[in-house]
Structure 1
């Protein structure tokens, strides 16, 4: 029994990082063959937009969405001045649409565009809008395509995207905004590839998950002890892409009885996810390995690289255990926004990270009930978070 429950743990953890009311959502079961039409949404909301494809060093083809002008401006009537660039990355199971869900006047991407910023929004590998590869077919080469953790996003997706944006815009630096896993990827990038500290003028991390020494949910912490065994079991069952075709087929065909506790538990997980989001149609897709990496860190109370086995770790890392990410190497001007009502990130862990990072400050959201997901879905986020971000960015000259 304890073997299957940690899968509930890591699924629930990732699920709480999602926007809960994403429009243009897809029908469950078609998730692997469709994508969120972000351009259509932006046009409907009155914004000119562009979609670009960035190919990573290992062949993943990522969609990134751009809002270069204010609302109702076009190429013909927009002010022809150089604008500072802001890049935004979503959380686990989110997508670029996370930053426009609240609509004009409330969504962070729209607010920044109206303030005169050149806004870019990323879609990490594996999500609906970036479910492509130069040689791999995600429907056929499932295990290889979805062999993904947040480290791949930080060390491969972000460098490719940042370099592409800077080259296209002619800028030497950009501003970074990351929610949840988007914050994790930033921490990985700038600790593992510290040269990117010189390419980012500032970063605002919205509940950016890193340290897990004080993970706030004690029950989930206990369950996470068995993360590795349950991850192995999930792979054996073909559960590699969360809400992909194998996941959907397995759960739709499964039957629950006294002899298959694991199958019963997976059916319960599906029900839990449905309860969390009111619908299963809002999910943007992810790899089970991404969830498991967070589960490993919750178990080890650390922020470290993927755990294989002692022998494989020794071969890959030169040590029996994975090395921790050295976030002290991050020199970017960082603001870490957090809330005391966060079930995935503890206040003390945020404070401890800020102590290690030389140019980092913390900022507690001034609403006690503000949650991990509220950073991208709460209507009062403009007053509580976004206005501060705009004010801080306006102080830079890029």
Structure 2
């Protein structure tokens, strides 16, 4: 549901500005000893958690509000305790920001020098989506504020057996996939139906299956016999040519011309 992969165009311009420098943001979080969204150590098990403190600093509250973290986690009142809900790794957020900035779907960016050590390239390698052959259905919305529908379709195209289905309801946002008013009707019922009545597996491929036989399909014994026949024919042709060259030829002047008719001379009376 609405996978955050490719980001050639990021629809949320406000959040894009906040995540424009993933390296600096990561360093800021590390200095604050914040490695988790709603870090447990910072607030304790019964401390109220609000969106303003989700990254351990009130300076970063705008990112949390733009991500609708409180709504997604079901934290609609300030009396929700951390014992009832937990967050996630801040590294996931930074990795996402890297992909948004670079407009690619790649592995974690360690920096140019460390990338060379880890990946043997200065840039982090992109994920090989073409290697994914498992049947996959991607559900997306054209009004998603976190991922563009064109990027979703591009993601599905890279996978050999993936299909993409658009939510028909207008105004369906990213967080509506979790707690939307009509999410059961728009999304979940279709998922249940697909699981209960799966369609036959058909792997999509651009190349048409050819009926021609390749050399790899022919047994090696047959290839060996064929090579012997070709060799015999070649030797016979060479011998024939040599014999023709040795045969003496008569010059054109010595040969009678069959086309010239010589009339016999008549005796004089």
TM > 0.5: yes
CA–CA distance in structure 2, aligned partners of residues 271 and 353 of structure 1: 27
TM-fit CA distance, 1:390: 2.3
Aligned to 2:59: 265
C-alpha displacement of 1:396 = 3.3
Q: Relative to structure 1, is the Cα distance of residues 270 and 323 closer, same or farther in structure 2, using a 3 angstrom cutoff? A: closer
Runs of 4+, deviation exceeding 4 Å: 267-277
- Shift in Å, 1:271: 7.1
Q: Is 1:240–1:246's contact at 8 Å kept on the other side of the alignment?
A: no
TM-score, length-scaled by structure 1: 0.42
Quote how far apart the aligned CAs of 1:376 are.
2.3
- Equivalence for 1:344: 146
1:217 aligned onto 2:12: yes
Match of 1:353, SS? helix
Task: Report the CA distance shift for 1:271/1:370 in structure 2 as closer, same or farther (over 3 A).
Answer: closer
Give 3-state SS (helix, strand or coil) of 1:320's partner: coil
The superposition leaves residues 59-117 of structure 1 with CA deviations (integer Å, 9 ceiling, x where unpaired) of xxxxxxxxxxxxxxxxxxxxxxxxxxxxxxxxxxxxxxxxxxxxxxxxxxxxxxxxxxx
How far apart are 1:266 and its partner, in Å? 3.6
Contact 1:354/1:362, CA 8 A, preserved across alignment: yes
Structure possessing the higher relative contact order (Cα contacts under 8 Å, 6 or more residues apart): 1
Whether 2:124 is the aligned partner of 1:326: answer no
Contact kept, 8 Å, 1:311 with 1:320, in 2: the verdict is yes
Aligned length: 183
Contact 1:351 1:362 in 2 (8 A): yes
Unaligned regions of 5+ residues in structure 1, if any? 1-205, 253-261
1:204-243 correspondence runs (5 A): 206-243=1-38
Task: Label 1:359 to 1:245 Cα distance change in 2 as closer, same or farther (>3 A).
Answer: closer
Q: If the length of structure 2 is used for normalisation, what is the TM-score?
A: 0.60
Tell me if the contact between 1:238 and 1:247 (Cα under 8 Å) persists in the aligned partners. Answer: no
Q: For residues 267 and 379 of structure 1, what CA distance do their matches in structure 2 show?
A: 26
Q: State whether structure 2 residue 114 is matched by structure 1 residue 312.
A: yes
Instruction: Report the alpha carbon displacement of residue 264 of structure 1 after superposing the two structures with TM.
Output: 5.4
Q: Who wins on radius of gyration, i.e. which is larger? A: 2
What secondary structure does 1:242 align onto? coil
Cα drift, residue 359 of structure 1 = 1.3
Tell me the distance in 2 between the aligned counterparts of 1:265 and 1:241: 16
